[in-house]
C-alpha cells in the first residue's frame, strides 16, 4: 500500500482506529479534523472551506468525517455536514488529481428493519441522518462520474468494547449491573466489528484496480439481542442479569415512554448481507463475536 492517503474525521472513535491502522502500513498518511491532533501529518481544516490544497499529491481520500445521529441536529444540519461538505471535498480531490475517493455511508439507507438486505435492495431511509447519507451517495456519484473512482461503503452498527456509539449504550447498560429484559430473544441483527471494518478497508485499499463500486461491509453472521448482551458481559468480565419480557409487553412499554425506535433496535430484526463485498474484495470477516469485541 505504497500511496498517500488523506483521512478525514481523524478525531472520532472510528477515525482514530483507522489512523492507527494506516500508520502501521506503508502508506503516507495525512489526517484532518476540525481540532488539533498529535498525528505526524495533521491538518486542522473545516470542510466547509476546503480547497484542492488539502488533497495535493494525495492518491486516496477516506472520508469518515460527518454528522452522526444526534438529538439536536436538524435536517439542514445533516444536509450541510453530510452532503454539501462531502461533495465539496470530492470536488477538491478531483481538482487535485486524486485517483480514489472512499465514502463511508450506512446500511440505514435501506431502512432500519428487514432481512437479507443487499446493495441493490430498495432505499427506505427512516431518519434525517439516513436520508442525508443517501443524498450524499447520489450527489457524489453524480459529481464523480468517470473522473475519479468512488467507493461507497455502507456500514451497520459498529461494535467494540470501547465503542461510544449506540453500542456503547449497550455496554453501559451491562456495566450498570441492572436486570435487563433481553432473555430468550429470537430476533436477528447484523453488526460490524471494528476489526472487520479495518480489514475490509484494507482489502479495498489493496485493490485499486476494482474501480468505482458500492459495498455493504458487515459481519458474516447475525446475533439475537440476547447473544449481543451476553457477549458484552463476557468481554467486559461483569455479571449479567437478564429476564424474559414478552415482545408485546415490551412494545407497549417502550411506546408509552416514547422509545418506539429503541424497541425496533432491540427487539426487531435487521440482517444485511456482505457476501458481495466478501467475493469482490476477497475479504473474510472474523466470525468470533466475543473475540471481535476486544480486537
CA distance 116 to 64: 26
Q: Which three cell numbers stand for residue 295?
A: 480486537
Q: Cα torsion at 189, 192, 193, 199 (round to 10°)?
A: 150
- C-alpha count within 13 angstroms, C-beta hemisphere, residue 170: 26
Residue-wise pLDDT tens digits, 209-219: 899 999 999 99
Q: Is the pTM of this model over 0.75?
A: yes
Q: Which residues contact 142 (CB under 8 A, 6 or more apart)?
A: none
DSSP symbol at 131: H
For residue 32, pLDDT beyond 80: yes
CA distance 113 to 95: 39
* Domain parsing of the chain, residue ranges: 4-155, 157-193+218-272+280-295
Per DSSP, the chain holds a count of helices (H) and strands (E) of 11, 13
For residue 85, pLDDT beyond 90: yes
Looking at residue 145, its pLDDT comes to 92
For residue 262, pLDDT beyond 90: no
Residue-wise pLDDT tens digits, 148-166: 999 999 999 999 999 999 9
Looking at residue 134, its pLDDT comes to 99
Cell numbers 435501506 correspond to what residue? Answer: 110
CATH number of 4-155: 3.40.50.720
CA distance 46 to 24: 27
Element (H, E) at 205: helix 194-205
CA distance 134 to 126: 11
246, exposed or middle or buried, with CB in 10 Å at 0-12, 13-18, 19+? exposed
Cβ atoms of residues 19 and 76 within 8 Å: no
295 closest CA partner among 197, 215, 221: 197
22 closest CA partner among 37, 7, 42, 41: 7
109 closest CA partner among 89, 94, 129: 129
Cβ atoms of residues 205 and 254 within 8 Å: no
Relative to beta strand 189-190, strand 222-223 is antiparallel
Mean pLDDT of the chain: 96
CA distance 237 to 231: 10
User: Which of the four pLDDT bands, split at 50, 70 and 90, describes residue 37?
Assistant: confident
Cβ atoms of residues 232 and 166 within 8 Å: no
Amino acid at each position: 500500500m505504497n500511496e498517500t492517503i488523506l483521512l478525514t474525521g481523524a478525531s472520532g472513535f472510528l477515525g482514530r482506529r483507522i489512523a492507527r491502522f494506516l500508520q502501521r502500513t506503508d502508506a503516507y498518511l495525512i489526517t484532518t479534523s476540525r481540532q488539533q491532533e498529535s498525528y505526524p501529518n495533521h491538518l486542522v481544516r473545516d470542510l466547509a472551506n476546503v480547497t484542492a490544497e488539502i488533497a495535493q499529491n494525495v492518491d486516496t481520500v477516506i472520508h469518515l468525517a460527518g454528522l452522526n445521529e444526534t438529538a439536536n441536529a436538524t435536517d439542514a444540519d445533516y444536509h450541510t455536514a453530510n452532503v454539501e461538505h462531502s461533495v465539496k471535498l470530492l470536488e477538491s480531490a478531483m481538482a487535485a488529481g486524486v485517483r480514489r475517493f472512499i465514502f463511508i455511508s450506512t446500511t440505514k439507507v435501506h431502512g432500519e428493519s428487514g432481512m437479507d438486505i443487499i446493495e441493490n435492495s430498495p432505499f427506505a431511509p427512516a431518519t434525517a441522518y439516513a436520508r442525508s447519507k443517501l443524498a450524499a451517495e447520489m450527489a457524489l456519484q453524480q459529481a464523480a462520474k468517470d473522473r475519479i473512482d468512488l467507493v461507497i461503503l455502507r456500514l451497520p452498527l459498529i461494535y467494540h468494547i470501547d465503542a461510544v456509539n449506540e453500542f456503547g449504550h449497550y455496554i453501559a447498560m451491562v456495566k450498570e449491573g441492572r436486570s435487563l429484559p433481553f432473555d430468550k430473544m429470537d430476533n436477528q441483527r447484523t453488526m460490524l466489528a471494528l476489526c472487520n471494518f479495518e480489514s475490509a478497508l484494507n482489502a479495498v485499499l489493496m485493490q485499486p484496480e476494482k474501480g468505482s463500486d458500492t459495498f455493504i461491509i458487515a459481519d458474516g453472521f447475525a446475533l439475537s439481542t440476547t447473544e449481543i448482551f451476553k457477549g458484552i458481559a463476557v468481554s467486559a468480565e461483569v455479571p449479567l442479569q437478564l429476564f424474559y419480557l414478552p415482545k408485546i409487553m415490551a412494545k407497549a412499554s417502550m411506546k408509552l415512554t416514547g422509545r418506539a425506535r429503541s424497541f425496533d433496535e432491540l427487539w426487531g430484526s435487521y440482517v444485511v448481507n456482505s457476501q458481495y463485498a466478501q467475493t469482490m474484495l476477497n475479504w473474510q470477516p472474523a466470525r468470533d463475536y466475543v473475540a471481535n469485541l476486544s480486537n
